[in-house]
Amino acid sequence: MNYKTLTLTLLLGLGAMQAQAEMTMNHEGHDMSQMEGMTLAEAGDMTMTRGIITRIDGQNGKVGIKHEAIANLKMPAMTMVFRVADPALLEELKVGDAVRFHAENPAGKLTVMAIQKQ
């Protein structure tokens, strides 16, 4: 398989995974305001994923994470950049920290909703 074919195959696969994640992550009609201020233990049903911080861009509200497979998004292990729901989530983190995080895909934008050091 040549480079162009492999690239196209990967892009098509990622596009299909994103479309599937969007369909399964529709929160329309849910009152998410109840989640504000909750600890991770109180949230209970959040699927947490392990990872290592590879990059922090607090000014733009983004974080790079080398992560294991993200079950709730049906995403394989990889290293990628996520938006963060609240830039304050990044305040206690540094590159190299082992973390557990919960990511969702609101409006097609992969977003870390909760994160904690391990």
The predicted pLDDT at position 9 comes to 63
For the segment 72-112, what is each residue's pLDDT rounded down to a tens digit?
999 999 999 999 999 999 999 999 999 999 999 998 999 99
| Structural domain that includes position 88 | 3-26+46-117
Q: Is residue 93 part of a domain?
A: yes
Q: Is residue 92 part of a domain?
A: yes
- Name residues whose C-beta falls within 8 Å of residue 69's C-beta, 6 or more positions apart in sequence: 49, 75, 76, 77
Count of positions (residues) in the chain: 118
Q: Is residue 69 part of a domain?
A: yes
Strand pairing partners for 101? Answer: 49, 115
Q: Is residue 95 part of a domain?
A: yes
What is the domain count for the chain?
1
pTM of the model: 0.63
The predicted pLDDT at position 42 comes to 45
Q: Is residue 57 part of a domain?
A: yes
Q: Is residue 106 part of a domain?
A: yes
Q: Is residue 60 part of a domain?
A: yes
Strand pairing partners for 42? Answer: none
Q: Is residue 82 part of a domain?
A: yes
CATH of the domain at 85: 2.40.50.320
For the segment 37-71, what is each residue's pLDDT rounded down to a tens digit?
444 444 456 889 999 999 999 999 999 999 999 99
Burial class, 103, CB count within 10 angstroms (exposed 0-12 / middle 13-18 / buried 19+): buried
Mean pLDDT (whole number) for 10-39: 50
Interatomic CA distance for residues 56 and 73, integer angstroms: 22
